[in-house]
Amino acid sequence: MVSERRTLLRFLPYLWPAERPDLRIRIAAAMALVLASKGVILLMPFAYKAAVDTMSADGGPAESALWVAIAMVVAYSGARFGGTLFDNMRNTVFEKVGQNAATEFSMDVFRHMHRLSLRFHLDRRTGALTRIIERGTKSIDSMLYFLLFNIAPTVLELAVVCGIFWVKLGPPAVAAMLGAVAAYIIFTQKVTEWRQALRRQMVDHDNHAAQRAVDSLLNYETVKYFNAEKIEAENYDRAVSTYRDSAVKSENSLALLNVGQALITNLTMAGAMAFTVWGWRQGRMTVGDLVLVNTLLMQLFRPLDALGWVYRSIKQGLIDMEEMFRLIDTEAEIEDRPRARPLKVAGGEIAFRDVVFRYEADRTILHGLSFTVPAGGTVAIVGESGAGKSTLSRILYRFYEIESGSVSIDGQDIADVTQDSLRAAIGIVPQDTVLFNDTIGYNIAYGRAGATRAEIEAAAEAAQIHDFILSLPQGYDTLVGERGLKLSGGEKQRVALARTMLKNPPILILDEATSALDSRTEQAIQASLREVEKGRTSLVIAHRLSTITDSDEILVMSAGRIVERGTHNALLSRRGLYADMWARQQAEAEAV
């Protein structure tokens, strides 16, 4: 209860935004319409009673009595229509408020997701994350309606009905009705709490099934490579079968709740109406009073009949919202320091000083690494797989905090500058290129917001992909598919090159930037890259040593340490690790 109350209190600013007086006016108008709706609905049974009493009066249907009865019937019908009219006007007025609250809430979560570290996103499954946001957003609007337009009006109506019963039936009847309502609420709460455990289990299994499906579809090619369709189907079948069993338990428990609620409500109505009939037998009540009591109880129990569903929906909505707040409360591993300033790039010199870094506490990746990339120079990093080469680019982008040492650009420690300015100054062509499921033009233009079509095409020409794009039926409007799967590895890499060229950053990182290209295309791209690298500070992470022979300096890494450094010719003459790597690659090239 404490966590649920805290969740509601945290959500209130979204419902009552201080900077939106127009939405506050809408909320006030909606509540006024709620009162108007309840007013006409509570008057409706009295019109019904008056019509019945007039028709059942002794002396036969006199002319005046006929018109009174007709007037009461018209008033009854008008009240019914008025209730529907006010309810729908309320919905119309409030709709913008609810949608705005849901939108602002989901946007806050979305922005926070992008502020969280790479470590968080590598640890969390995308399918489960999107389901949490989806369920939380959907629950907001419906929960607002339940709280404001179901629970609150029902409490008001209960108070008015108690007053009417006090006058018509006396205090004992009021006490009996309140006892029945209390029993109904307690029963509903207890059973719903029991069902919540089943519901949570069902949601967990639903998340797991969604994760299996998303992971399998994202790795579609891998599944095909290993003929693993049957294995994936079996894994998914186990996941959805577990979800099915949980869902069956959850839905079957609903039958017990419905039967118990129906028993309490019908016993209450039977008792109240029997008491009214007894009063009529004694001459203290009329036939219209029976109609009045019956109508009032029907109106009261109509929302109470839905109380179990409303309570469950609110509880589930609070759970879903709590999950979203838990995401918001997840602290970002990388934050700008209180006095962080924008990075000012003059020449773009990069300096690593005694950098120690580990992903996990017991696994050190970099052991006191030190090197400098001079302003406007090109330094290449080579080494066996797992040596820690790609980790350097992640540290330079400040995706992770280093354990000790420092990384600076033009003498400015990257930990002391804003992340936005740091990342704006760096462009990267990653080894694993991931594209948005949009057009080729959109993916290239992602390099710089507001780029013109001519600038996009110029970047594509520099990346040697312009002619290929023009050969496609839709040209730059061609969709690349999920994660760019409609393009080959080389085509995706050239799109990534064009995107970075369009960004035009002072610092360039090439992480195996041509690994997916054929030899002819690679030579053409290398010529373009040399032009791009002019006047820029470039850090090249390479596997093919032939692409970095003209680098100002080559660093050879092994197990997180720099074991050799120098120019291409100097390293060959040393006959060390670099020379061995060069000899192996040359032998492989000759064999091909």
Residues 479 and 399 in one domain: yes
Dihedral sign for Cα atoms in the order 580, 583, 587, 589: positive
Same domain, 321 and 404: no
Residue 367, domain member (yes or no): yes
Q: Is residue 344 part of a domain?
A: no
**Does 568 lie in the same domain as 509?**
yes
Note whether 506 and 461 are same-domain residues. Answer: yes
Q: Per residue in 72-82, pLDDT tens?
A: 666 667 767 77
Residue 341 in any domain: the answer is no
523: which 2 tokens?
Answer: 């030579």
Please give the residue that has the higher pLDDT: either 156 or 567: 567
Q: Is the pLDDT of residue 104 over 60?
A: yes
**Confidence band for 353, pLDDT divided at 50, 70 and 90:** very high
For 136-170, how does the pLDDT look when each residue is reduced to its tens digit (9 = 90+)?
777 776 777 777 777 777 777 778 778 877 877 77
Q: What is the CATH number of the domain that holds 129?
A: 1.20.1560.10
- Spell out the long-range contacts of 67-73 with Cβ–Cβ below 8 A and sequence spacing 24 or more: 72/47, 72/48, 73/47
Do 17 and 89 fall within a single domain?
Answer: yes
- Which of 297, 329, 361 is the last residue before a domain boundary? 329
Q: What is the total count of domains within the chain?
A: 2
Local structure of residue 515 (DSSP, 8 states): T
Can you give the CATH number for the domain in which 499 is found?
Answer: 3.40.50.300
Q: What is the DSSP letter of 517?
A: S
* Residues 377-411: b if buried by 16+ CB within 10 A, e if exposed: bbbbbbbeeebbbbbbbbbbbbbbebeebebbbbe
Residue where one domain finishes, among candidates 282, 297, 329:
329
446 with 540, same domain: the answer is yes
Q: How far, in Å, CA of 5 to CA of 322, rounded?
A: 11
Between 128 and 314, the more confident residue is 314
* pLDDT of amino acid 323: 78
Q: Given this model, what pLDDT does residue 412 score? A: 92
Is residue 219 located within the same domain as residue 363?
Answer: no
**Range of 516's domain?**
350-591
Check whether residue 312 and residue 453 sit in a common domain.
no
291 lies in the same domain as 366: no
> Concatenated DSSP letters for 401-459?
--SEEEEEETTEEGGGB-HHHHHHTEEEE-SS----SSBHHHHHHTTSTT--HHHHHHH
Q: How many CA atoms lie within 13 A of 552 on its CB side?
A: 16
Tell me the C-alpha distance between 46 and 153, whole Å.
Answer: 19
Which tens digits make up the pLDDT trace of 388-429?
888 888 889 888 888 899 999 999 999 999 988 998 898 888
Higher pLDDT, 379 or 34: 379
Given a cut of 80, is residue 538 above it in pLDDT? yes
Per-residue pLDDT at 60 exceeds 70: no
pLDDT at 123: 64
* pLDDT tens by residue, 186-221: 888 788 778 777 777 888 888 888 888 888 887 887
335 falls within a domain: no
Question: Do 318 and 234 share a structural domain?
Answer: yes
CB 318 within 8 A of CB 8: yes
Which of 252-266, 343-357, 431-445, 513-527 shows the highest mean pLDDT?
343-357
Give the span between the Cα atoms of 475 and 233, in whole angstroms: 37
Sorting pLDDT into bands at 50, 70 and 90, what band is 56? low
pLDDT tens string 293-322? 777 777 777 777 666 677 767 777 777 777
343 falls within a domain: no
Residue type, 540: V
pLDDT digits (tens, 9 = 90+) for 484-526: 778 877 788 888 888 888 888 899 888 876 665 666 666 666 7
Q: Is residue 583 part of a domain?
A: yes
Predicted local confidence at residue 127, as pLDDT? 60
CA 75, CA 404: separation in Å to the nearest integer? 81
Residues in the chain: 592
Provide Rg for the chain, Cα atoms. Answer: 36
Q: Are residues 325 and 364 in the same domain?
A: no
Output the pLDDT for position 462: 82
Judge whether residue 438 has pLDDT over 90.
no
Mean pLDDT of all residues belonging to the chain? 80
State residue 103's pLDDT score.
Answer: 79
Which is higher by pLDDT, 589 or 206?
A: 206
Q: Is residue 334 part of a domain?
A: no
Residue 334 confidence class, pLDDT cut points 50, 70, 90? confident
Q: Among residues of the chain, what percentage have pLDDT more than 90?
A: 7
Distance of CA 51 to the CA centre of its chain: 55
* CA pair distance 383, 559, nearest whole angstrom: 9
301: in domain: yes
Whether 319 and 358 share a structural domain:
no
